[in-house]
Copies of this chain bind each other. A is one copy, B any other.
Amino acid sequence: MPALFERHLDKLTKAVETCRTRASWSGWPENPSSKIHGEELPTAGKARFDTQLGQAFDLEQPAEVGRLGEEVSPYTREALGISYPKVDIETLYEHIAQAQPAWTRASPETRVGVCMEILERCGEQLFENAHATMHTSGQSYVMAFAGSGANALDRGLEALAYAHKAMQDVPPTGHWQRQFGRDGVADLQKHYRLKPRGVGIVICCATFPLWNAYPALCASLATGNPVVLKPHPNAVLPVAMVVRTARDVLSAAGFDPNLVTLVADTRDAPATQALLDQPATAIVDFTGSPRFGNWLENNCPGKLVYTETAGCNSVVLESTNDLAATARAIAQSLCQASAQMCTSVQNVHIPADGIRVGDHRVSYEEVASAICAAVDGWLQDERRAATLCGTLFDDAVQETVDRYRELAGNRALRDSAAFAIHDFPKARTATPLVIAATEADRDWYRQEVFGPVAFMIRNADRDACLADATGNAHDCGAITSHVYSTDESFLERAVDAYHDAGASVACNLTGMPINFAAAYSDYHVTGLNPAGNACLADLAFVANRFRIVQAKYMAP
């Protein structure tokens, strides 16, 4: 058994097992508290990040033809000043081609072991990664440590577990004997080898740079494909750190580090098309805008394309026994990471005649008010507000908020405003803008409005709420959907309607962050609506990244 595989076997086994039970488990710590980690680790991570600022990122990668980098911290509004290699893609691919054969020949267990070690080593830089993520994608420290740290690593391990399962399904050998007619028994030894597709490119997004990076990296690399990571120009550092770590692990394991490379680019000179144009590029993993994701899905014939994009996530509010708890749950989603998550709620559908709360009828206005009040509740404490909301990753998000403020006019139920973050007086922040809408405003809400903008949509009745929400999920995509109802039969109908629209649904979630998508338990993205064509993670995410060739030998 390869050493790295053996070293990490317990954890891998636990991951495979948890994919089966779908229970709660995390392979990494989600809480950055010094009470757990002591003072040293957090301090060292921060120091490493600080030291990186203004420096060339040390990545010994071939085909470097210059340097680039345009990251600006959403907290300090200052350029990070970090430069990354600008690479000649043609030349890089020549190096990748040289790296490939030995990796193809390596056993699946060897490759899985290397991927496990990469995840482990990335897990050791969670503190540094948290600061890198804060100052690129704008997440709060706590969110950056957990969501873009442990949770993303878990998704990576989950994808790796599936890749391992899919590869294990192909036995290395077989023995086959049978008689044909009057000839003697034909006796064949058969050897089955797994072959990669080619180069996998991973296009990462700005707000959760590692959310699909780890799963795509693991899924492609474990199955034998070299991987090129193409970060968003706003959020290169967290990805570059993964690439450096992966290269170190590969080298230490005796492989060519060019199996994992970084192609950073700038907004003015994007590199994606050049990567797609490389004949060796066989796999594309993408997280980002629905528009580009859809383009990729339809314009890469002969390549495997896995997308996770976005939609207009909805809540259907029908009834509840605890309006305060429900409002609090929804409000948290409107605030969390300034609604820049793929699981953030945007459209809250409320019947025109209100909802039933226990034995009472509560009007649309009162429900909307309760949600707005709950938002205010979450934001009351300055420190908690900062932890919950983080910052806006880009000026474009503020522009979106401003545009909708103007559109909404006096229909804003809750205005958006900057809020203070103690340590970062220049931070780009915005509290949720909440807008009263009707179906006449469908143009507003039948799309992803990226950032802290939400609509309290007054539909005719509960069935109209459900029809609008599920129709939007079907036509415009949805990654998460929520229903609140104490009416069993309505709940059942709602679940069916969301499922028929190709969407998953959560029912009556309170007392937890409803945006939370759990690795090993929640199949993330259905692939049945415009918010993406792939799931993190299932067998379909991995099974086609490799193919099978066989050699059969007749016994002499």
Kindly state the separation between the CA atoms of A169 and B166 in the bound complex, as whole angstroms: 11
Say whether B171 contacts A551, CB under 8 Å: no
Q: Assess whether B549 is in contact with A526, with CB atoms less than 8 Å apart.
A: yes
Are A543 and B539 in touch, CB under 8 angstroms? yes
B residues near A504, Cβ cutoff 8 Å? 549-552
Chain B, residue nearest A183 (CB): B511
CB distance from A45 to the nearest CB of B (A): 22
Total copies of this chain within the assembly: 2
Q: Is the CB of B554 within 8 A of A507?
A: yes
Report if A540 contacts B (CB, 8 A).
yes
A184 to B297: give the CA distance in the assembly, Å.
42
Within 8 A of B (CB), among A137-186: 165-166, 169-171, 173-178, 180, 183-184, 186
A540 / chain B contacts, CB cutoff of 8 Å = 543-544, 547
A527 within 8 Å of B (CB atoms): yes
Indicate whether A528 reaches chain B with its CB closer than 8 angstroms: yes
| A20 CA to B172 CA, complexed, in Å | 10
Across the interface, which residues of B come within 8 angstroms of A174, CB to CB?
21-23, 521
With A24-B178, A174-B22, A538-B170 known to touch, is A499 a contact of B554 (CB < 8 Å)?
no
Given contacts A298-B302, A543-B539, contact A526 B190 (CB under 8 A): no
Q: Which residue of B lies closest to A23 (CB)?
A: B176
Please determine whether A523 and B548 come into contact, CB atoms closer than 8 angstroms.
yes
Cα-based distance from A184 to B521 in the complex (angstroms): 20
By a CB distance below 8 angstroms, the chain B residues around A193 are 499
Q: Which residues of B contact A21 (CB under 8 A)?
A: 171, 174-175
Interface 1/0 per residue, A1-43 and B, CB below 8 Å: 0000000000000000000111110000000000000000000
Inter-subunit contact B556/A499 (CB<8 Å) = no
Which of A173, A188, A516 is packed against the most chain B CB atoms within 10 Å?
A188
Instruction: Report if A518 contacts B (CB, 8 A).
Output: yes
Answer whether A177 and B507 are a contact pair too, CB < 8 Å, given A297-B302, A499-B551, A538-B543.
no
A547 / chain B contacts, CB cutoff of 8 Å: 502, 526-528, 535, 540
Check A552/B507 contact, CB under 8 A, given A170-B538, A180-B513: yes
Total residues of chain A contacting the partner, CB 8 A = 68
Across the interface, name the chain B residue whose C-beta is closest to A191. B495
- Are the C-beta atoms of B184 and A511 separated by less than 8 Å? yes
Q: B195, A499: Cβ atoms under 8 Å?
A: yes
The interface residues of chain B lying within 8 Å CB-to-CB of A543 are 166, 538-540, 543-544
Does A512 lie at the interface of the complex (its beta carbon under 8 Å from any beta carbon of B)?
yes
Does B180 lie within 8 Å of A507, measured CB to CB?
no
Asked if A522 is at the interface of the complex by the 8 Å CB criterion, the answer is: yes
Complex Cα distance, B492 from A193, in Å, reads: 14
Residues of B within 8 Å of A549, CB to CB, are 498-499, 502-505, 523, 526, 528
Cross-interface CB contact of A502 among B195, B301, B499, B526, cutoff 8 Å: B195
> A21-B171, A508-B553 are known contacts; what are 20 more A-B pairs with Cβ within 8 Å?
A22-B192, A23-B174, A24-B177, A169-B538, A169-B539, A176-B518, A186-B511, A195-B499, A297-B301, A495-B551, A504-B550, A505-B549, A507-B552, A508-B556, A509-B552, A523-B550, A526-B549, A538-B548, A540-B544, A543-B543
Residue contacts A-B, CB under 8 angstroms, 15 given? A22-B174, A22-B192, A174-B521, A180-B512, A184-B511, A188-B509, A195-B528, A298-B301, A301-B301, A495-B551, A503-B549, A504-B550, A505-B551, A523-B549, A543-B543
Chain A residues in the interface with B (C-beta under 8 A): 20-24, 165-166, 169-171, 173-178, 180, 183-184, 186, 188, 190, 192-193, 195, 297-299, 301-302, 495, 498-499, 502-513, 516, 518, 521-523, 526-528, 535, 538-540, 543-544, 547-554, 556
Shortest 10 CB-CB contacts between residues of A and residues of B: A22-B174, A186-B512, A298-B301, A540-B544, A24-B178, A539-B543, A540-B543, A543-B543, A523-B548, A504-B550
